[in-house]
Amino acid sequence: MNRINPAKLHNSKWTAIRELNREKHFLITEIEFEEEGKVLSCTLESVLSKKEYLIDWVELKNDAKWLHGWK
């Protein structure tokens, strides 16, 4: 399980274990917070195509799907 600090999530780098639309490397470009400071969702941007994907940030904790950093 990946450990994630929501305060350091912005501009972090991620590698998909299984490619999404033939893309593997992503950056977190936007984060949506609740009033209480909890993360609601975040936006992944593909490094190659600049396509954006909305994702539940809790999915990033699953190390079977995501690796922290670019590998």
pLDDT tens across 7-18, in order? Answer: 889 999 999 999
Q: Write down the pTM of the prediction.
A: 0.87
What are 67's two structure tokens? 């690796």
pLDDT of 6 reads 84
Q: Using alpha carbons, select from 59, 69, 70, 71 the residue that is nearest to residue 8.
A: 69
The closest alpha carbon to 61, from 3, 8, 13, 5, belongs to: 3
Q: What are the residues whose beta carbons fall under 8 Å from the beta carbon of 1, sequence distance 6 or more?
A: 61, 62, 63
Q: Which residue has the higher pLDDT, 71 or 43?
A: 43
- pLDDT per position as a tens digit, 7-62: 889 999 999 999 988 999 999 999 999 988 888 889 999 999 999 999 998 899 99
